[in-house]
Chains A and B, each alone.
Chain A
Amino acid sequence: MDLQTLWFVIIAFLFISFFVLEGFDFGVGILLPFMSQEDRERRAVINTIGPFWDGNEMWLISAGGVMFAVFPKWYATLFSGFYLLLILMLVALIFRGVAFEFRSKHDNPAWRSFWDWSIFGGSLIPALLWGVAIANFMRGVPIDSSMNATGGVLNLLNPYALLCGITSLFIFSLHGAIFLALKTTDTLKEKAMSLARTLWAPATLLCIICMACTVTETDLYLRLGINPGTVPVFSVLALVSVIFMLQKNAAGWAFAMTTVAIAFSTITIFMGLYPRVLVSSLNPAWSLTIYNSSSSLYSLGIMSIVALLFIPMILIYQGWSYQVFRQRVSKDSELEY
């Protein structure tokens, strides 16, 4: 395996971690208005992700930073070509980020309500936009011979991409509902379970439609073959199985299955792309690949040492922080601020 491929795998890993971890905290944010109208209960819902969301978001930030270092042309083409989508995503992440901190700092119903809706919108928009973005990675954007992606925002908001966006929105919501069922008690837990059961059918249906459209809209199945292998199949089977676990009240297993579904779908996408990172809709030769967009071998080497040192450390201390805050949260818990 060459260094470019190693880095393709590491970036795929960063995206998987981001979708799995921030996926459930996006879901919790989206479900916040549906979970409860009562202030202490809402605080309890927020506190299920309180210690984690910032660390989870770093998987995205690090994916961006790492992309800049190891595939600078991918970073440059993607971030400039998806300009308005990213502006929208930044606005969402700004509101969401300060909302967690500001919400309880002032005792006024209008204030609280404003920040609660910021958490909702700030979670919903990125959950949707990530589906849109990934769909366009696969479907292709008008990249010219000098690696510039023209075409603007309307080109990105095509029906297929929007379908993928709504799908990712529902899957993250389902993932978040199951996380809430794992982390809350009593009425909050029941509410989360019932939301999860409601969300399962549209999430699964959308996922299957989305995969079908991927056959016609992208070249992924041409590349992966008619029998695309076990990875996408497992991804769908995992999602289908969630309802049986929810009916048995086995939220832990259900969470494991949504995790598998998200991880395996992401792996499928990256497998279908390889060795490309951004498909050109104008000319296959103008697609960005891990080879024409990568840094020098020296920089890749330095980054490899850095990643092999630090990513295991991150997994250890983030895992530890999940361990510290493993208890369920209820409105009667001592709620930090």
Chain B
Amino acid sequence: MNIFVCIKQVPDTETKITPNGDGTYIETSSIKWIMNPYDEFAVEQALLTKQANSGSTVTVVRVGGVKDTEALRTALAMGADDAILVESDDNLDSFMTAKALKGAIEKSGKSADVIFTGKQAIDDDCLQVPQLLAGMLNIPSVSVVVGCEEASGAFTLKREVEGGALEVYEVKSPALIACNKGLNTPRYASLPGIMKAKRKPLAQHSLADVGVSDADRRVKYSNFQLPPEKPAGKKFEAMDEAVQASVVAEVVGLLRNEAKVI
């Protein structure tokens, strides 16, 4: 089985995000990059699927800058067989990213039997690439997947919906599966795994190599700004019984006129 995993590298969740000087993107120089947490579930599910199907390979694909390749190396150290990096320092939109991933998968010479992705990236939260990629490849896709069983190329997928209920889907390969938290427990990259990862193949392509140009851009990012600072909370002293009635009236007045919640 040819298993593909698409991963994104995102700022560490503890990173303090600030817009860059001209507001066209975020300041990236001081960011510590990690693999998108939802993509870790995708890598783990790919490795589990490989373990259950001898002779399978796991190829991990990423679109992004070359400078920090931590996410790809982590996936290789966890046990993926090879990696493809489509280089781009630009801030791509979802359509361009999906098209680049499609191009990279096709360029690998292997037809994808299954593609695993995270359900969303935690940086821009677009939730578009998995569905766009499946659409471009004309294969079915299921997202928010929390249960995945495979038997001879057919997947039984459980998907979370409103109210904690589960929808169950039967999907035949080839298919795209977008993974959610709860699907599995991602393994650690072992130290021998980290050493072995050095010798695993990593192909590099430009955007042009995979057929993507700026003409594919659907969304132009015009401005990044921080949300307005929250004003400090108000404290009311009402220990003294004599003032309690007037304090309550004041609080109600503020809730009605200032906060406009009642």
**Does A associate with B in a complex?**
no
Interface, chain A (partner B; CB < 8 A)? none
